[in-house]
Amino acid sequence: MRNGDDLLPSYTGRLISERLDHWRYGVVQAHQSWLDLILNALKKLREEGLTAALILSAVHNRRVLPLMSWPLRMDEMGSGASSRVLEACRMSNEVPADDEVAARVRAAVAGDFKSEHVNGFPTRPDQGSIDLVSPFSTYGFHSWFSSTSFKTYLCSRRD
Amino acid sequence: MLVRLIAADDSRPSSMTERQLLELEREALLHPRTSSSQPEWITLAVDHREPRPPKGYVVSFAKFHHHGLGSPPSRFMRALCHHYGVELQHFSPNAITATAVFAAVCEGYLGMMPHWDLWLHLYRGELFISPSGTAGVRKPVRGGCLNLVLKTGKSEKPQEYISVGLTSNHAGSDSQWFYIAER
């Protein structure tokens, strides 16, 4: 990832009038096989009914902006973290009303979204979040991500 | 059909007021200003017609913050800018939503940082060029030209991701721009 300077690109107002070739780049063939485990986990989430609308309702309910730099990853924002750090990870101390969350979701996704469905698919580590370990009982999904082989893979991906 | 490009329109003047930005803060969609020397966001002069952000700031849209962008932006968001070779204002509102959903899937459901190879496997960039009102003639846009769409073609891998049906109604959002700190 070429963002080592920790900055967004400066504004120039440049006009883009044609699609660049690399906008369609995919994964290099050598790394494709590494994705299989993740794609299987995504399949499980999809089969359980996860949608973009449910995801957006969950993040609004948790008062987290997914594209903001936070001290913790979303799944680490549980009871194990210090209350001071947790407070720094939230945009507000007050949980928004379900009606308000549903309205925000409807502004972003196609179709209707009712307030009774807010946080119907909680994120980790909240109560009711889906367990992705069991489908991979011989080699747990989350343990794989903390394994030496995965870390080796990530290191090999650094540009 | 051959499509002819004509000159893009100038940017629309910003309609964002300090009151609206404070309302975004109240809704917990915009980080409160914590620094007087480099606040997280700054208001524009009344009737600010053309983006000219001061050093250290970039152009953002209110809709981006409704859809999951925060200040300072995440490393993944910065990486996307550099990978596609675009500036923040080039993302379409739905590109921001798709990115936010992907980041939340990775962090909140899969329990990992946004995964770069997974992103490249699932998404591609497309250019949005606005209709001009004349058949066969289109014009580039200054903001929102990069759409990030799921790869669903015959040669691509369909149906590997969750359902992401996004709204097509973004009326008026291109005039709701203001400045956020670039770090």
- 3-class DSSP string for B144-176: CCEEEEECCCCCCCCCCCCECCECCCCCCHHHC
Chain A residues inside the 8 Å CB shell of B85: 20, 22
Amino acid letter, residue A115: S
> CA-to-CA distance for B150 and A65, rounded, in angstroms?
22
Of B29, B81, B125, the CB nearest to A8: B81
Complex ipTM, two decimals? 0.90
Segment holding B179, helix H or strand E = strand B177-181
Q: Please give the Cα distance from A16 to B127 (Å, whole number).
A: 8
Q: Which chain B residues are closer than 8 Å to A65 by Cβ?
A: 29, 65, 68-70, 100
Which residues 6+ apart lie within 8 Å of B4 measured at CB? B136, B137, B138
d(CA A24, CA A17): 16
Q: Which residue has the higher pLDDT, A11 or A155?
A: A11
Helices (runs of H) and strands (runs of E) counted in chain B? 5, 8
pLDDT band at A159 (very low <50, low <70, confident <90, very high): very low
Collect all residues of chain B within an 8 Å Cβ-Cβ radius of residue A104: 66
The pLDDT score that the predictor gives to residue B15 is 87
The answer on pLDDT for B154 being more than 70 is no
Q: Which residues of A touch B89 (CB under 8 A)?
A: 11
- Nearest Cβ partner for A74 among B53, B104, B118: B104
A61 sits in which H/E element: helix A52-61
A22, B86 in Cβ contact below 8 A? no
User: What DSSP state is assigned to residue A79?
Assistant: T
Q: Residue B3 — pLDDT band, cuts 50, 70, 90?
A: low
- Of B177, B40, B160, residue with least CA distance to A26: B160
Check CB contact under 8 Å for B73 and A68. Answer: yes
To the nearest whole Å, the CA of B127 is away from the closest chain A CA by: 5
* H-type alpha helices, chain B: 18-26, 62-66, 75-84, 93-104, 116-122
Q: What's the rounded Cα separation, in Å, for the pair A13 and B11?
A: 9
* pLDDT score recorded for residue B7: 61
* Integer Cα distance of A17 and A10 in angstroms: 19
**Chain A residues with beta carbon closer than 8 angstroms to that of B78:** 3, 6-8
Give the model confidence (pLDDT) of A81-128 as tens digits.
Answer: 999 998 888 899 899 999 999 999 999 999 899 999 999 999 999 888
Q: What letter does residue B14 receive in the DSSP assignment?
A: P
Model confidence pTM above 0.90 = no
A75 closest CB neighbour out of B79, B111, B166: B111
Q: For B31-51, b where at least 16 C-beta lie within 10 A, e where not — what string?
A: bebeeeeebbbbbbeeebeeb
Report the chain A residue with the minimal C-alpha distance to residue B164.
Answer: A52
Q: B142 burial class (0-12, 13-18, 19+ CB within 10 angstroms)?
A: buried
B interface mutation test: which of A15, A16, A38, A105 has the most B CBs within 10 A?
A: A16
Q: Measure the CA–CA gap between B104 and B98, rounded to whole angstroms.
A: 10
Whether residues B162 and A55 touch (CB distance < 8 A) is answered with yes
- Residues 20-79 on B with a CB inside 8 Å of A are 27-29, 31, 51, 53, 57-59, 65-79
Neighbours of A60 (CB within 10 A): 28
Query: Buried b / exposed e across B63-72, counting CB within 10 Å, b at 16+?
Result: bbbbbbbbbb
Size of interface A-B (CB pairs under 8 A): 241
What single string gives the DSSP state of each residue in A107-138?
HHBSS---GGGTTSSPPTTSTT----SGGGTT
**pLDDT tens per residue, range B73-97:** 999 999 999 999 999 999 999 999 9
* Side-chain half-sphere exposure of A155, counting CA atoms within 13 A: 7
Note which residues in 83-112 of chain B have CB less than 8 A from chain A.
83-90, 96-97, 99-101, 103-105, 107-112
Prior bond to B140 cis, omega within 30? no
Residues of chain B numbered 134-163 and touching chain A (CB < 8 Å): 140, 142, 145-146, 151, 160-163
End-to-end CA gap in chain B: 43
Amino acid making up residue B114: P
Is B166's CB within 8 Å of A52's CB? yes
> Average pLDDT of chain A?
83
**CB-CB contact of A24 with B122 (8 Å):** no
User: Residue A48 CA to chain centroid, in angstroms?
Assistant: 17
Whether residue A53 has pLDDT greater than 80: yes
Q: Are B5 and A17 a contacting pair at CB < 8 A?
A: yes
pLDDT digit string (tens) for A29-52? 888 888 988 999 999 999 999 999
